[in-house]
Structure 1
């Protein structure tokens, strides 16, 4: 049973990679997976269930833990590197990724946004917060972050990354300035780092 679900998810991921997330219709994914639409609906009763599962898998693949558990590296550096994954990886990609980010926000909360789009964006936000909480949890276990402040700090880091995306969109900062500001924030979060 889990194998069939994985087969569907892999087919959907391939299709999304080739043609974009908009290509994830039940019919197209079922065809790519070599199954009937009713079988796909058994595993993913609603289109939004499939979209979320694909988005979740994509996020976990594109936002790994990197070196967060490598205690030979400074904790501020590890946290900064992980958090930078929520921002464009290079100056060449700033415009494209800022546009995609703004489009996603608009699709979830803008005029005419549908309930499914809003729920998907909220679930993705929670996944993002979960990534920050996991990284901060590693640092808390090492004594670099207060365990009782992990959830609040994850929220702050997420909000900071969203704010940096706005600053990039407005042309107020460049990617190097964003990295420096994120390093400063991470230094304030991690005990003993300045």
Structure 2
């Protein structure tokens, strides 16, 4: 975005843009209020006015990133079978983990931010915001399929957790050496997981 376009943004939008840029540069990182305010060119007081807690800022940023990176359009395309649509949506989530060196770098960042250090309140809140937004998105997709009759009524929160556990495992596999085609293995695993959910 050009500098003059930034000037026309509201202070709230400047904060969101800065936070999304920082998150995009280092996925999985905790958003520092000072770093975001500095990047946005606003005071920390202005940032706190729009987002009283770090959690509110993280939730809003993640919602917007998921809206851009993982659009819901595909789940509404009833010309395709429900299982294909759900697999495609999950594949978009998985795409964010990268492949090979990028997947290893992203995994290393997650380990450094959330696993290696002793958990802090900020670290826990940052991780839970990421996890909550991912689960919310998958629950939405499952609700769409339930409403159209492709999925029986049931506990979509539990189903979403299961599907995200599968996606997380596949993301880890992307960072590890593989003997076979990762794409084929991922596709088989995603379809198996989706079939399990759709038949429940």
Contact 2:11-2:46 at 8 Å conserved across structures: no
What is the alpha-carbon distance in structure 1 between the residues aligned to residue 54 and residue 159 of structure 2?
A: 33
- Given that 2:15 and 2:47 are in contact with CA atoms closer than 8 Å, whether structure 1 keeps it comes out as yes
CA shift for structure 1 position 31: 4.1
Q: Which residue of 1 aligns with 2:153?
A: 147
Report how far residue 57 of structure 1 moved: 2.3
Which residue does 2:78 correspond to in 1? 71
TM-score, normalisation: structure 1: 0.79
Aligned length: 188
Secondary structure of the equivalent of 1:148? coil
Which stretch of the first structure deviates more once superposed, 23-32 or 135-144?
23-32
Q: Could you tell me which residue of structure 1 aligns to residue 7 of structure 2?
A: none
Going from structure 1 to structure 2, the CA distance change for 1:89 and 1:118 (only over 3 Å counts) comes to: closer
- By relative contact order (CA 8 Å, sep 6+), the higher-ranking structure is 2
Question: Comparing 92-101 with 175-184, which one deviates more in the overlay?
Answer: 92-101
Q: Shift in Å at residue 121 of structure 1?
A: 0.7
Structure 1 Cα separation of the partners of residues 84 and 57 of structure 2 = 35
Q: Does the CA-based 8 Å contact 1:94-1:168 persist in structure 2?
A: yes
In the other structure, the counterpart of 1:101 is: 107
SS of aligned partner of 1:68: helix
Cα RMSD of the aligned pairs, angstroms, is 3.0
Give CA-to-partner distance per residue, 1:133-170, whole Å, 9 cap, x none: 10011111111111223222111101111122233333
TM-score, normalised via structure 2 length: 0.77
Deviation at 1:44, TM superposition (A): 2.8
Residue 189 of structure 1 is matched in structure 2 by: 197
Asked whether 1:13 is paired with 2:20, we answer: yes
Residues 56 and 67 of structure 1: CA distance in aligned 2, closer, same or farther (over 3 Å)? closer
Counterpart residue number, 2:187? 179
Deviates more, 1:44-53 or 1:55-64: 44-53
Structure 2 gaps, min length 5? 1-9
- Counterpart for residue 118 of structure 2: 112
Q: Is residue 84 from structure 1 mapped to residue 91 from structure 2 by the alignment? A: yes
Relative distance call for 1:149 and 1:169 in structure 2 (3 A) is same
Moved more, 69-78 or 99-108: 99-108
Alpha carbons of 1:106 and 1:26: their partners in 2 closer, same or farther (altered >3 Å)?
A: closer
User: Residue in 2 aligned with 1:162?
Assistant: 168
